[in-house]
Structure 1
Amino acid sequence: MTSETGKIIIGLGLLIFLAGIVIYFFHDKLNWIGNLPGDIRVEKENFRFYFPITTMILASLLFTIISQIIKRFF
């Protein structure tokens, strides 16, 4: 293990901690996540299919931006 590995683990830990704080305090205001326009939902009598494509695109974009910001500082 190198010091770079330690930095990555600390960064991930801080990110998970901050995500937990946001979810804990704002869980009632985040109910729009997963219900965005473009999320595919098919419900039939004995079948339910849900594919949150818009939510996944936004999460990917957010993760990319955060990882690029972290990469510049480390």
Structure 2
Amino acid sequence: MFRWLLVILLALMFISWLSPLLRRMGFGRLPGDFRFRWLGRDWDVPLASTLLLSFVVSLITKLL
């Protein structure tokens, strides 16, 4: 279980770093993606985008 939490955390960090590029492609605006301002900084929590991208990646790896 700890391994899955670590994978989800790393995926969230990776997607948040790539959020400007992904936002131009349409990700980050799905229902379930949260964006808020706290302590003078914009925070993105792309939960739905993370699930969608991990589903697509898992489909690709299963097909290969």
Classify the TM-score, shorter chain: 0.5 to 0.7
- Secondary structure of the residue that 2:36 maps to in structure 1? strand
Once the two structures are superposed, residues 20-45 of structure 1 have per-residue CA deviations (whole angstroms, 9 ceiling, x without a partner) of xxxxxxx9xx6421111100111257
Output the CA distance in 1 between the equivalents of 2:41 and 2:59.
36
Q: Does 1:66 align with 2:43?
A: no
Match of 2:28 among 30, 34, 52: 34
2:17 corresponds to: none
- Secondary structure of the residue that 2:27 maps to in structure 1? coil
Equivalent residue pairs, number:
42
Give the root-mean-square deviation of aligned CA atoms.
Answer: 2.1
Gaps of 5+ in 2: 1-20
Structure 1 segments, 4+ long, off by >3 Å, are none
2:47 corresponds to: 53
Output the CA distance in 2 between the equivalents of 1:31 and 1:59.
12
Output the CA distance in 2 between the equivalents of 1:31 and 1:67.
22
Q: Higher Cα Rg: structure 1 or 2?
A: 1
1:8 corresponds to: none
Deviation at 1:50, TM superposition (A): 0.6
Once the two structures are superposed, residues 13-71 of structure 1 have per-residue CA deviations (whole angstroms, 9 ceiling, x without a partner) of xxxxxxxxxxxxxx9xx64211111001112571321111100000000000010000x
Percent identical pairs in the alignment equals: 24
Output the CA distance in 1 between the equivalents of 2:43 and 2:31.
16
